[in-house]
Amino acid sequence: MISGLKSRSSATRRQAGQYNDAYAGSSSTSQLQQIDAQVVSGSSAKASLGIKVLSDHPDAEVDICLVHGLTGNSHSTWTHDNGHFWPQDSLPERFPKARIVTYGYDADVVSIWRSTSTSRLREHGETFILALANERSKSLHRPIFFLVHSLGGLVVEQALLICVESNESRYKSISSSAAGIMYFSTPHEGSYLAKWGSIIVGLLRSLGRNVNQDIVSTLEKKSEVLQNVETGFQSHLQHTWKQVKICCFYEQLPIRGFTHVVTKDSAVLRAYTSAGLHGDHITMTKFENSLDPDFALAAGQLSEWITSLDPQTRPESVQSPSSDAANDSSARGGTTTYGTATGINFGTNAAFNGGNISYNAK
């Protein structure tokens, strides 16, 4: 995802994946050159790939899988500047009988010391669904919820479409077990920032960076790849996946010195629950603590989904949040808004309500 300039300690900047944040808020060549001095080793980058189990229970009753976006990784995308990694520090307490996993894939747009991934969206989907199927080999029919940021939403959608096409029983089981998708600023028609993104790509190439144009082009408005994935997914959502719950969170704040990476209209799907989170495209997925009101929104929605599962599969131990969690606005100031739209058009160019894709950072 494309991120803005945001002050951080030098120690925080050195964390793997976070070097990408600096370039997006500015087109200054000098600032871009400063990024070249920040290096993420190939070994540490590879360590963030694949499925990572954060929490498990011998009698786990649901799976929760988090998937990051473009240039993000399976840890930094979900970690507040104070070090709070909420998928591990907050979710297990709230959902003790859930297996919680993150998935990491190489979606870096730039890298000076190693070649950029040449994986296209479908290839990311294929790798993800195989990794997930392997992890679920002993729990094929356990309900699974996906929490996805930016491009991660498209990766999950592509993966589920692959499940529908496949003759493998374990892939089919993932399709039938999909219970909910929670989007964090995933665009659903393309990106109004496509032209601006192309300029950034040109600048990065002039600095000797390798750029995966196939991934970047996925962000372009009316992208054929994006349309095919979204139209196919939306059609199946109406028929094959009627059981799948949908919630779309959108960024309420622009990136400092820039704008919204994904607008509300781009992030919201008609006929499904939507709500704003008090953060920009980068910070909206980084909850300060378990009392963060935005975490309360996300966890509350997830709790409602789990509670509404069929009684035979519904977990018995979904913990209620602290009474202060929903009311305490000290963790992150601001007003959170809600909205639910109705009426979906399944036309070729109007499968979803709006469009913009974000780039995940940090």
- Is the pLDDT assigned to residue 360 strictly greater than 80? no
- Is the pLDDT assigned to residue 170 strictly greater than 70? yes
Rounded to two decimals, the pTM is: 0.72
- Is the pLDDT assigned to residue 361 strictly greater than 90? no
Distance CA 274, CA 297 (A): 11
Distance CA 100, CA 166 (A): 25
- Scanning the chain, the segments in alpha helix (DSSP H) are 10-13, 29-36, 42-47, 86-89, 91-94, 121-135, 151-165, 169-177, 194-206, 213-217, 224-238, 264-267, 293-307
Confidence class of residue 184 from pLDDT cuts 50, 70 and 90? Answer: very high
Structure confidence at residue 352 (pLDDT): 31
- Is the pLDDT assigned to residue 86 strictly greater than 90? yes
The token duo for 254 is: 């622009």
Structure confidence at residue 106 (pLDDT): 87
Domains of the chain, earliest start first: 10-340 (3.40.50.1820)
Structure confidence at residue 160 (pLDDT): 96
Confidence class of residue 80 from pLDDT cuts 50, 70 and 90? Answer: very high
- More confident position, 231 or 272: 272
Structure confidence at residue 224 (pLDDT): 64
Provide the percentage of residues in the chain whose pLDDT is more than 70.
60
- Is the pLDDT assigned to residue 277 strictly greater than 70? yes
Instruction: Choose among 148, 23, 4: nearest CA to 78.
Output: 148
Taking residues 243-261, report their average pLDDT. 87
pLDDT in tens, 12-67: 333 333 333 333 333 333 333 333 333 333 445 688 899 999 999 999 999 999 99
Structure confidence at residue 275 (pLDDT): 97
Give the pairing type, strands 50-55 and 98-104. Answer: antiparallel
- Is the pLDDT assigned to residue 250 strictly greater than 80? yes
Mean pLDDT score of the chain, rounded to an integer?
Answer: 73
Taking residues 7-12, report their average pLDDT. 35
- Is the pLDDT assigned to residue 302 strictly greater than 70? yes
pLDDT in tens, 106-163: 877 655 445 666 667 889 999 999 999 999 999 999 999 999 998 899 899 999 999 9
